[in-house]
């Protein structure tokens, strides 16, 4: 039996199918415009489009823009074109409700759960698995399973807005660091002598125009690493909202989650629909709320991602309580390695907000010598208050 | 030319491309779009541009990006020294005014940098913009303009429009995330480390003299080494160096002499901690598995 999807006889033809596929990709968070659909058509004309693997290669080259997307692409391709011979009823997705259909969330705009399950945009059934028999789209599903907690239950849209504001301020406080060097600038604070003398040659050695220079602001990149293990679950809500806000406010920021392993969530959080971003996150953070392996996770970070994304202009924000199931030397080793890249390390610990808190957790004690700042953070308000203190890091 | 023809042509030139890469290249050629290649260092991103230029029998124009790269180094610059000398000479010769001005702002005094050179060629060249992630974001914006219009405006001369459209290949190592605008304009392929069969083909294409058994061992060894927890994973170029070193020493079997194997590892391991980690025992174990 052919695996290729059968399309209904009434649909308008190949171009509509490609347009439908583009919409399918868009629904799954790939950022594609009208121009891409046009190139996709042209690309299909160039290859032997009858053979699925060739079409897949061609479309992958056109439609993806980064490694994460490229890795997901094959599944998305199969779910649309290789539907095991099932008949696809509707090629072009219609507007099914008055709501904005580009926002796929099982909650309505006020953040309340939509009462009926299994509508077009959220193919849930009681088992918690996406129903693969229907014609629904492949998107994040709401899971009832505790080990597979849906982060959307923790975070509400209005919080993200608030967090975005906080993240923007903290970002601004951390980000601009004046350079030691000066560069030419129209409105500078001192005279750029070399340039002035050189320019004076064209006026016969007479320095008619004084050129200036200033210390430019060098932007610093924020890398946030959030602990979502069991001991942190009370605070996860604040921190996840903060991360989502940070990613939306600062296009250069980078975010990671860890519990027993480390996941990069930057691409997922960049989704233009905030709630869908959190939904994608829950799929990635499988095992959320379990044990924590801070040391190995940080070690993995400093051995892999840090090599690409952390340099002397980065600030690494670690959001964790420091309760580790692994030996504390791991944390010290990982942080030492991380510090060698020249970055600043800021640890935000929710427990520090408690009265009479002393960092007794062995992991925390091991980490302290390597931190540039060690602050408390339980609520969004606390995070907001950090703005001034972090500016001096 | 279909992508299979392109793949064969590239293979004839010593570049073994994966199917994904061949299709993307073919599309880049036929649709006239830039191709963005990402992947770890040493998987052959830069090499593909050289091979493509060979296959198409055109020039390869390369722009190596670095932090602080600006328009003067990437597009064009006036030859100031020559202009000054000409002015001086003209003044002594009694020539003044508009004539001199026209002369010193003519094409003769223009220093073409890679981007301008690429659009003024008679035969469409291959333009390689290497390690675009190292350049500043401002430069990326400038590049976008050139890649979409294929023309350069020079205030003194007017607009220079492309005679032929170059084939543009961009490479990135992912030291920073590229802007969405740039990604959208390009076709994209992530180049992985080659699998065992592909890498064996590469080795055979590049070093035809190497014996089949040794070639198999070399590729197996490097593939296993990539699975180790190393700071700098060896790429294809390192693998070829390794093969060349072994052949130079006249080794016929990797497991035959641990001391020689260890000394040739300098071609594969490029940091002190990696060298410390792969001790003779570890190397022997990997070689044993690969054999």
pLDDT in tens, chain A (393 residues): 467 777 776 777 788 888 888 888 888 778 788 888 888 888 888 888 788 888 888 898 888 888 878 888 888 888 888 876 566 555 554 444 334 444 444 444 444 444 334 444 444 444 444 444 444 444 433 333 333 445 556 566 777 777 777 877 777 776 666 677 888 888 888 889 988 998 898 888 888 888 898 888 777 888 999 888 777 777 777 787 788 778 877 778 888 988 877 888 888 887 777 777 777 777 666 556 667 788 888 988 988 888 888 888 888 989 888 888 888 888 898 999 899 888 889 888 888 767 667 777 788 888 888 888 888 877 777 777 777 777 766
Angle between helices B196-206 and B212-227 (to 10 degrees): 130
Distances (CA, A) of A88 to A49, A134, A181: 19, 10, 62
pLDDT for A190: 87
Residues 198-237 of B with CB under 8 A from A: 229, 231
**Are A372 and A355 found together in one domain?**
yes
Three-state DSSP class for B174?
coil
Q: What is the largest CA-CA distance in chain A?
A: 86
Could you read off the pLDDT tens digit of each residue along chain B, which spans 291 residues?
A: 788 899 999 988 888 888 889 999 999 999 888 999 998 888 888 899 999 999 999 999 999 998 888 878 888 999 988 998 888 888 888 877 788 888 888 888 999 999 999 988 899 999 999 999 888 888 888 888 888 888 888 888 888 888 888 999 999 987 777 888 888 888 999 998 888 988 998 898 888 888 888 899 899 999 988 888 787 889 998 999 999 998 888 888 888 788 888 888 888 898 888 888 888 888 888 888 776
Name B118's Cβ contacts closer than 8 Å, sequence gap at least 6.
Answer: B61, B125, B127, B166
Q: Which residue of B has its CA nearest to A48?
A: B2
**Are A226 and A211 found together in one domain?**
no
B19 interfacial to chain A (CB closer than 8 Å): yes
All residues of chain B having their beta carbon less than 8 Å from the beta carbon of residue A71 are: 190
Q: How far is B174 from chain A, CA to nearest CA, in Å?
A: 7
Q: Is residue A63 part of a domain?
A: yes
**Are A263 and A375 found together in one domain?**
yes
Spatial distance between the Cα atoms of A295 and B248, rounded to a whole number of angstroms: 45
Find the angle CA(A354)-CA(A278)-CA(A283) to the nearest 5 degrees: 110
B23 interfacial to chain A (CB closer than 8 Å): yes
**Are A381 and A299 found together in one domain?**
yes
pTM greater than 0.80 (yes/no): no
End-to-end CA distance of chain A: 64
How many domains are contained in chain A?
Answer: 4
Q: Is residue A325 part of a domain?
A: yes
Name A264's Cβ contacts closer than 8 Å, sequence gap at least 6.
Answer: A254, A255, A256, A305
Extract the tokens encoding B124: 């469409």
Q: How far is A317 from chain B, CA to nearest CA, in Å?
A: 18
Three-state DSSP class for B12?
helix
Strand ranges (DSSP E) for chain A?
6-7, 87-88, 177-178, 183-185, 190-191, 212-214, 217-218, 221-227, 254-258, 262-264, 314-319, 344-349, 373-376
Q: Which residue of B has its CA nearest to A221?
A: B176
pLDDT tens profile A29-88: 787 888 888 888 888 888 887 888 888 888 988 888 888 788 888 888 888 888 765 665
At residue A60, what are phi and psi to the nearest 5 degrees? -65, -40
Q: Rg for chain B (alpha carbons), in Å?
A: 24
Three-state DSSP class for A104?
coil
Interface test with B, best of A65, A74, A184, A203 (most B CBs within 10 A): A65
**Are A118 and A213 found together in one domain?**
no
Tokens 């946030």 appear where?
Answer: A224
Note down the domain range covering A267.
219-391
Spatial distance between the Cα atoms of A156 and A161, rounded to a whole number of angstroms: 9
CB A269 within 8 A of CB A244: yes
Q: Do B26 and A47 touch (CB under 8 A)?
A: yes
**Are A247 and A308 found together in one domain?**
yes
Three-state DSSP class for B35?
strand
Q: Do A60 and B20 touch (CB under 8 A)?
A: yes
**Are A232 and A371 found together in one domain?**
yes
B177 interfacial to chain A (CB closer than 8 Å): yes
Domains of chain B: which residue ranges?
3-75+113-190, 76-108, 196-290
**Are A83 and A224 found together in one domain?**
no
Q: Which residue of B has its CA nearest to A44?
A: B27
Q: Which residue of B has its CA nearest to A306?
A: B175
Q: How far is A185 from chain B, CA to nearest CA, in Å?
A: 15
Spatial distance between the Cα atoms of A271 and A360, rounded to a whole number of angstroms: 39
H/E stretch holding A253 reads none
A10 interfacial to chain B (CB closer than 8 Å): no
Q: Do A58 and B27 touch (CB under 8 A)?
A: yes
pLDDT for A114: 40
**Are A228 and A114 found together in one domain?**
no
Distant-in-sequence contacts of B208-211, Cβ < 8 A, 24+ apart: B209/B247, B210/B243, B210/B247, B211/B252
Tokens 């023309």 appear where?
Answer: B151
Spatial distance between the Cα atoms of B148 and B181, rounded to a whole number of angstroms: 11
Interface test with B, best of A51, A61, A184, A251 (most B CBs within 10 A): A61
Q: How far is A321 from chain B, CA to nearest CA, in Å?
A: 29
Q: Do A58 and B31 touch (CB under 8 A)?
A: no
Q: Do B23 and A35 touch (CB under 8 A)?
A: no
Spatial distance between the Cα atoms of B193 and B170, rounded to a whole number of angstroms: 18
Q: How far is CA A321 from the centre of its chain?
A: 22
Q: Which residue of A has its CA nearest to B231?
A: A303
B41 interfacial to chain A (CB closer than 8 Å): no
End-to-end CA distance of chain B: 40
Query: Helices then strands (H, E): number in chain B?
Result: 15, 9
A184 interfacial to chain B (CB closer than 8 Å): no
At residue A286, what are phi and psi to the nearest 5 degrees? -60, 125
Partners of B110 in the beta sheet?
B78
CB A63 within 8 A of CB A36: yes
Task: Tell which CATH architecture fits domain B3-75+113-190.
Answer: 3-Layer(aba) Sandwich (3.40)
Distant-in-sequence contacts of A73-82, Cβ < 8 A, 24+ apart: A75/A138, A76/A24, A76/A25, A76/A28, A76/A30, A76/A138, A79/A24, A79/A138, A80/A5, A80/A20, A80/A21, A80/A24, A81/A4, A81/A5, A81/A21, A81/A52, A81/A55, A81/A56, A82/A3, A82/A4, A82/A5, A82/A52
**Are A383 and A250 found together in one domain?**
yes
Q: Do A47 and B33 touch (CB under 8 A)?
A: no
Tokens 């992947």 appear where?
Answer: B39
DSSP A155-182: --HHHHHHHHHHHHHHHHHHH-EE-SS-
Interface test with B, best of A40, A53, A66 (most B CBs within 10 A): A66
Number of neighbouring beta carbons within 10 Å of residue B108 = 10
Extract the tokens encoding B285: 């174990």
Which of A217, A238, A263 is the last residue before a domain boundary? A217
Spatial distance between the Cα atoms of A294 and A300, rounded to a whole number of angstroms: 10
H/E stretch holding B177 reads none
**Are A117 and A82 found together in one domain?**
no
**Are A186 and A250 found together in one domain?**
no
DSSP A273-329: SHHHHHHHHHHHSTTTTS---HHHHHHHHHHTHHHHH--TTEEEEEE-----SS-HH
Q: Is residue A159 part of a domain?
A: no
Spatial distance between the Cα atoms of A357 and A254, rounded to a whole number of angstroms: 30
Spatial distance between the Cα atoms of A27 and B150, rounded to a whole number of angstroms: 34
All residues of chain B having their beta carbon less than 8 Å from the beta carbon of residue A43 are: 27, 31
Q: Do B19 and A66 touch (CB under 8 A)?
A: no
Extract the tokens encoding B284: 């022997």
Partners of A88 in the beta sheet?
A7
B67 interfacial to chain A (CB closer than 8 Å): no
pLDDT for A126: 43
Q: Rg for chain A (alpha carbons), in Å?
A: 25
Angle between helices A14-27 and A34-46 (to 10 degrees): 130
pLDDT for A278: 73
């Amino acid at each position: 039996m052919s695996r290729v999807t059968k399309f209904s006889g009434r649909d308008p033809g190949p171009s509509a199918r490609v347009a439908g596929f583009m919409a399918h990709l868009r629904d799954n968070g790939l950022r594609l415009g009208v121009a891409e659909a046009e190139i996709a058509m042209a690309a299909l004309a160039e290859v032997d489009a009858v053979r699925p693997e060739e079409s897949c290669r061609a479309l992958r080259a056109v439609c993806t823009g980064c490694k994460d997307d490229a890795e997901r692409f094959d599944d998305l391709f199969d779910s649309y074109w290789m539907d095991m011979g099932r008949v696809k009823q509707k090629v072009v997705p219609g507007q099914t409700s008055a709501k904005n259909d580009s926002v796929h969330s099982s909650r309505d705009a006020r953040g309340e759960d939509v009462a009926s399950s299994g509508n077009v945009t959220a193919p849930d059934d009681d088992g918690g698995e996406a129903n693969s028999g229907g014609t629904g789209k492949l998107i994040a599903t709401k899971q009832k399973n505790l080990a597979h907690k849906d982060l959307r239950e923790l975070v509400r849209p209005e919080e993200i807005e608030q967090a975005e504001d906080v993240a923007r301020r903290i970002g601004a406080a951390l980000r601009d660091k004046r350079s030691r060097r000066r560069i030419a600038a129209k409105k500078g604070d001192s005279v750029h002598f070399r340039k002035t003398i050189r320019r004076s040659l064209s006026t016969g050695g007479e320095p008619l125009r004084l050129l200036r220079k200033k210390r430019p602001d060098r932007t610093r990149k924020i890398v946030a690493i959030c602990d979502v293990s069991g001991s942190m679950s009370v605070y996860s809500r604040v921190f996840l909202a903060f991360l989502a806000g940070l990613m939306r406010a600062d296009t250069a920021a980078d975010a990671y989650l860890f519990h027993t392993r480390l996941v990069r969530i930057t691409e997922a959080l960049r989704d233009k629909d905030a709630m869908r971003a959190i939904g994608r996150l829950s799929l990635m953070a499988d095992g959320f709320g379990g044990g924590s392996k801070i040391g190995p996770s940080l070690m993995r970070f400093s051995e892999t991602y840090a090599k690409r994304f952390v340099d002397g202009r980065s600030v690494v924000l670690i959001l964790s309580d420091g309760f580790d199931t692994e030996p504390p030397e791991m944390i010290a080793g990982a942080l030492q390695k991380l510090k060698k890249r020249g970055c600043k390390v800021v640890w935000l610990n929710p427990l520090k907000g408690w009265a009479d808190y002393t960092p007794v957790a062995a992991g925390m004690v091991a980490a302290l010598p390597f931190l540039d700042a060690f602050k408390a953070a339980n609520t969004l308000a606390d995070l907001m208050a950090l703005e001034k203190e972090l500016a001096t890091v | 030319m279909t992508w299979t023809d392109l793949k064969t042509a590239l293979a004839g030139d010593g570049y073994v491309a994966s199917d994904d890469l061949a299709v993307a290249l073919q599309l880049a050629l036929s649709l006239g779009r830039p191709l963005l290649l990402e992947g770890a260092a040493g998987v052959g991103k830069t090499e593909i541009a050289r091979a493509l230029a060979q296959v198409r029998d055109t020039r390869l124009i390369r722009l190596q990006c670095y932090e602080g790269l600006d328009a003067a180094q990437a597009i064009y610059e006036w030859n100031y020294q020559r202009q000054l000398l000409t002015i001086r000479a003209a003044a002594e010769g009694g020539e003044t005014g508009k004539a001199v001005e026209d002369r010193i702002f003519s094409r003769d005094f223009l220093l073409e940098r890679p981007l301008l050179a690429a659009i003024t060629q008679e035969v469409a060249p291959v333009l390689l913009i290497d390690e675009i992630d190292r350049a500043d974001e401002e430069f990326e914006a400038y590049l976008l303009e050139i890649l979409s219009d294929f023309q350069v405006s020079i205030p003194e001369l007017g607009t220079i429009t492309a005679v032929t459209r170059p084939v543009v290949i961009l490479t990135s190592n992912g030291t920073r995330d590229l802007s969405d605008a740039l990604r959208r304009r390009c076709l994209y392929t992530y180049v992985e480390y080659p699998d065992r069969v592909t890498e064996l083909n590469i080795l055979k294409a590049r070093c035809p003299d190497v014996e089949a058994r040794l070639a198999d061992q070399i590729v197996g060894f490097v593939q296993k080494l990539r699975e180790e927890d190393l700071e700098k994973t060896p790429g294809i170029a390192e693998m070829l160096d390794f093969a060349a070193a072994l052949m130079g020493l006249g080794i016929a079997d990797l497991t035959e002499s641990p001391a020689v194997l260890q000394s040739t590892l300098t071609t594969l391991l490029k940091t002190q901690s990696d060298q410390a980690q792969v001790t003779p025992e570890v190397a022997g174990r990997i070689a044993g598995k690969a054999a």
